[in-house]
Structure 1
Amino acid sequence: MNPANESRAGRHEERSVFAVGTYKLLTVIIGTIGVFGFCNNLLVILLYCKFKRLRTPTSLLLVNISLSDLLVSVVGINFTLASCVKGRWMWSQATCVWDGFSNSLCGIVSIMTLAALAYERYIRVVHAQVVDFPWVWRAIGHIWLYSLAWTGAPLLGWNRYTLEIHQLGCSLDWASKDPNDAAFILLFLLGYVEHFLKLFLNRFQEQKDLEPFGD
């Protein structure tokens, strides 16, 4: 474990970042988000399972988003909520790693599923194509594997999960000056840019191909 991270995790007990009233407000906000997030996402999953007419490939992508958001409400918000109540990070370094990993994993899953959902809408409208369940299951599998690959790398030593500046939760070490850590952050961000750039270029090319027909 990096000694700098351990000392950073240890200094949180020495001072508070926010005023007492701010911590109380954050407790209410995060607690409300957690309760509504849990109830609403659980309801989506239950409705999908109960009503057969809702079991469509597109709805399955929405269920995947609800599942990842539900996991955040169950395993992600609790540590931050308790820290807001206490006014500081009150958990161990191992818990910090778990908090950073679980929130990052579910966050990437939600973002990538939204990208897949946007692509599904695009091919439905532009190409009049409808995705089937095998396509959606493959997409979901790839999304989780992609997310696990990026969030698992810090567990193996490429970057790390550390206490954030507000000292209420943990995330990647975005401020590290180490070249390897900086390379991870850069490649991580470029991964998002690549996906959206491909969608933009494909859209641009298709519009260009349709121009002669429009004239």
Structure 2
Amino acid sequence: MKPLIGVSTYREQARWGVWDQLADVLPAAYAQSVERAGGVPVLLPPGADDAASAVVARLDGLLIAGGADVDPSRYDAEPHARTASWREDRDAWELALLDAAPVDLPVLGICRGMQVMAVHAGGTLVQHVPDVVGSERHSPGGAEFGDVDVDVLPGTRLAAAIGDKGSVRCHHHQAVRDHPGFVAAACAADGTLEAIEHPGHRFRLAVQWHPETRDDAGLFRALVAAAASEGGD
């Protein structure tokens, strides 16, 4: 059977057809990428924290998707002037999913997902990358993605999935500063951390870029393959 991959979603006011109401939404590219890699996507809108264990028990893999900034209080920081629009319900839900995820459950984080995974581990974030690197190339503004060259550390799970370097599409004004338990897996030329992975887990990997926005299937294939090797027994 194809592995079930849970994908976290937004809960936002949205408009479609004649409707303008609160909705659970996510760009279709996430689910399509999972499907193309051979998995079955299951969307996971923010829910009650105590439901996370029941949800995770039914999954073969977990994908923490991109989205808004993480609430700085989650890592004991005051908000930067450019930190905004965090969603307390989504923060709580995704952290609960990670709390409930057993060590052998494959987990992939994308953009915000990498930041959530680092904060869950007790890490902290750079709240505005341009303050550090002096440019906005990682998030040029609006719906535009920044093309960023990354170097992948050899010998990592990430290198096995996508190779040792390449150009990626970024849309993040924040980044991971500290990541207890994780090791760096890729960096941009300006020093921005672009990927982390956890050597103590079978597959727990996160990237700061958006592989779902281009034909960049290596990460999704790796996630689904890891999920199938466990969930398909």
Query: TM-score category by the smaller chain?
Result: under 0.3
The structure richer in strand per residue is: 2
Structure richer in helix, relative to its length: 1
TM-score normalised over the length of structure 1: 0.27
